[in-house]
Each structure stands twice: as structure tokens, then as C-alpha cells.
Amino acid sequence: MTQATAGNTVSIHYTGTLEDGSVFDSSEGRDPLEFQVGSGAIIPGLDRAILGMSVGEQKTVTIPSAEAYGEYQPQARQDVPRDQIPDNIPLDPGTMLQMQTPEGGAIPVVVAEVTDESVTLDANHPLAGKDLTFAVEIVSVS
């Protein structure tokens, strides 16, 4: 039976949960996720966990935050004076926005806090600092 190795294209079904058991993502009801092992298309810890698995094999693996979306970086939060944000921009906490870098690139941010004076924007990935558990099944290896 073919085992997943670096460079193989694999398809997986998965369910990702947080420490409290809540589901943050799943392929249930969708096509399996297809990617090339070792290409960086998925988080590093899950990519490594797939290595050596065969079609039909299932396992559950916990990925530490450092091998998932990284540690939470407090310096990735920025307070912006409220009067510097146009009135037409929604500022409800949890709203996803994009900031522009000086080089013209886009950085996704989340509105973390809003006061009369400032808006706190957070550029951390929503899953940064969290250990993630995945129940994985290999559907195909090619």
C-alpha cells in the first residue's frame, strides 16, 4: 500500500478541534482537501503527521501552536486613532479588515477592541497561540 511521502499529492478528510473540543474547521460535507505533501500548503505539524500514512488510515494528532499558526504575538496588535479610520469602515469587534503596508501589500487584521479614542487591530492569525487537534483520514495518495 502506498504511503504518503514528500512530493506525493494526497487527499484527506479532516476535522480540526480546539482544546475545548469545539470544531474550527472540517471537510465534512465537502470534497477532501488535496495538497502536495511537503509543499507548505498546510500547517507544518499536520504536513509532517501525514507522512507515512496510507489510504484508508485514520489518526488523531495534536499540533502544538508553534507548528500550526505560531505563537500569539502581542506586538502584532496596533492601536489606531479612531479619527484616522474612515466612517464607512465597519468597526464591530471581530470584523476582518485589511491594512496596507508601506510597500503596497495587504495584511489581514481583526478589529479587537473599539473605544471612543482608538481602534485596536490584531494581525495575529485567529488560531495563533492555540494547539490544534486533527482527526485525519487519508483518501488518496498519488
Same domain, 36 and 65: yes
Residues 26-58: tens digit of each pLDDT = 999 999 999 999 999 999 999 999 999 999 999
Range of the domain at 59: 3-70+128-141
> Which residue do the cell numbers 509543499 mark?
39
Instruction: Write down the pLDDT at residue 59.
Output: 98
User: Which region holds residue 75: left if phi is over 0, alpha if psi is between -120 and 50, else beta?
Assistant: alpha
Number of domain units in the chain: 2
Which CATH number does the domain housing residue 36 bear?
Answer: 3.10.50.40
Asked if 28 contacts 13 with a C-beta cutoff of 8 angstroms, the reply is: yes
Cell numbers linked to 11: 487527499
pLDDT per position as a tens digit, 55-89: 999 999 999 999 999 999 999 999 999 999 999 99
pLDDT of residue 102: 87
One domain, residues 56 and 115: no
Question: What Å distances lie between residue 112 and 50, 77, 81, CA to CA?
Answer: 34, 8, 14
- For residue 105, give the CATH number of its domain: 2.40.10.330
Burial per residue of 61-77, b for 16 or more beta-carbon CB atoms within 10 angstroms, e otherwise:
eebebebbbbeeeeeeb
